[in-house]
Amino acid sequence: MKSTKFSLILVSLAVAGLATSPVWAKDDLPAINADGMELVKSNKMTTVYKDPGADLGGYTSFILEDASVAFKKNWKRDQNREAISLSGKASDKDMQRIRDKISASFRDTFEKELTAGGYQLADQPGESVLIIRPAIVNLDVNAPDLRTSTRSRTYSESAGEMTLNLELIDSLTNDKVVIVRDRKRDLGYGYVQWRTSGRNQADAKRMMHSWAKSFRQALDDARDSVRQ
């Protein structure tokens, strides 16, 4: 019964609040991956693998690693192809600035959500400490607000999209407990907007908050199932 409950909890971690996620194609996945983890959820939006003996209910503290951030392939080339002037072209410095903001926003969002739920931020491994290792990949910012010397405005209906690769790791054994992959896209408001860095960051944070809220709920459900 506990195993069934845990599987449902893991699925809720990945699929809660994903109504705005688009369909995306991927190959069939093995029932058991290279790390010996079982496939719990697999569809065109979300993938979840878990350690057969894993139990999230025992973790009360967490170590949150900095989120690595990688742009969608050829993002810079595609952005610059549509630039009207040289000053409107994205540079490597622009990309690094965006990466840094996304990573910082992810940390801020997850830390606030988890500590609000009573989970403690740890600075070293322990019996009840879970390592959270996030990676944002395929980041696609539709209309980045570039810092140029000339006045310019960029417009887009949607902020863009990004995919979260999340690994949950036992801090003592260094074993992977759960891995999740989920893609989110900002569907916008149905009309074109002026895209500032602040607006883009707010929309990105809204997507991250959905991930963080789902993650906290999964931990809460696992903790409650252990108490029953």
Give 178's pLDDT tier (boundaries 50, 70, 90): very high
Helix 92-116 × helix 197-227 angle, to 10°: 30
Give 31's pLDDT tier (boundaries 50, 70, 90): very high
pLDDT score of 205 more than 50: yes
Does 228 or 201 have the greater pLDDT score?
201
Distance CA 90, CA 71 (A): 12
Question: Residue 177 has what pLDDT?
Answer: 95
pLDDT score of 213 more than 70: yes
Please provide the average confidence, as pLDDT, over all residues in the chain: 79
3-class secondary structure, 118: coil
- In this structure, the number of other CB atoms found within 10 A of the CB of residue 76 comes to 16
Q: 């006045």: which residue's tokens? A: 151
Question: Residue 149 has what pLDDT?
Answer: 47
Distance CA 94, CA 144 (A): 9
Question: Residue 77 has what pLDDT?
Answer: 92
Beta bridge partners of 129: 61
| Total domains, the chain | 1
Question: Residue 174 has what pLDDT?
Answer: 95
Question: Residue 87 has what pLDDT?
Answer: 63
3-class secondary structure, 146: coil
Question: Residue 41 has what pLDDT?
Answer: 82
Query: Which range marks the domain in which residue 160 is found?
Result: 2-227
Least-confidence region, from 20-34, 135-149, 190-204, 209-223:
190-204
Question: Residue 6 has what pLDDT?
Answer: 47
Least-confidence region, from 35-49, 144-158, 209-223:
144-158
Contacts of 60 (CB under 8 A, 6+ apart): 118, 119, 120, 128, 223
Does 195 or 45 have the greater pLDDT score?
45
Helices (H), the chain: 2-15, 75-81, 92-116, 197-227
